[in-house]
Amino acid sequence: MVLLFGVGPDSYWKREEVMVLILQIIGREGGTEDCSKSSRMYWRWQGLIRTDRTKRVKEARDEAKKEIDEYRKAKEAEFKKFELEHTSGNKKAEEEANKDAEAQIKQIQQAGKKGQDQVVKDLLKAVFDIKPVVPERIEVPK
């Protein structure tokens, strides 16, 4: 029996080559019985070629998934490295901004403590010293 395909992508025979080989076998042996045998062999090989093609497609899909996963992991690692390099400067700026904000808050609190007594007096005076004022829109009775 003749091996129609071997191992590897370059060793697979094309459909036309298989047909030529089968026709050569038929021509060599001749007869109707051999013709039906050759026909069965042809369809058997077609089935093998089809299943082999399916297997190669699945292998290619799996290999592509692996390559995509590797690429994704590499890009994620690259992004994390980039992020670490560029956020370190932001952390320093953030710490300086926090220190400045705390200093300004302390200044505001100290200013509030200095004028706290006067503010309380002004509030109490405004609440307890009532000075009624007639709005301009209302007519004054005569």
For range 15-32, the mean pLDDT: 62
Whether the predicted pLDDT of 3 surpasses 50? no
**d(Cα 13, Cα 6) in Å, to the nearest integer?**
9
Residue 31 φ/ψ, nearest 5 degrees: 90, 155
What is the per-residue pLDDT across 95-118, written as a single tens digit (0 to 9) for each?
899 999 999 999 998 888 888 888
Side-chain-side CA neighbours of residue 84 (13 Å): 6
> Look-up: residue for tokens 């089935």?
47
Taking the model in full, what pTM does it have?
0.36
Asked if residue 38 lies in contact with residue 24, where contact means CB atoms within 8 angstroms, the answer is no
> Look-up: residue for tokens 């829109």?
137
The SS3 of residue 92 is: helix
Domain boundaries, the chain: 10-128
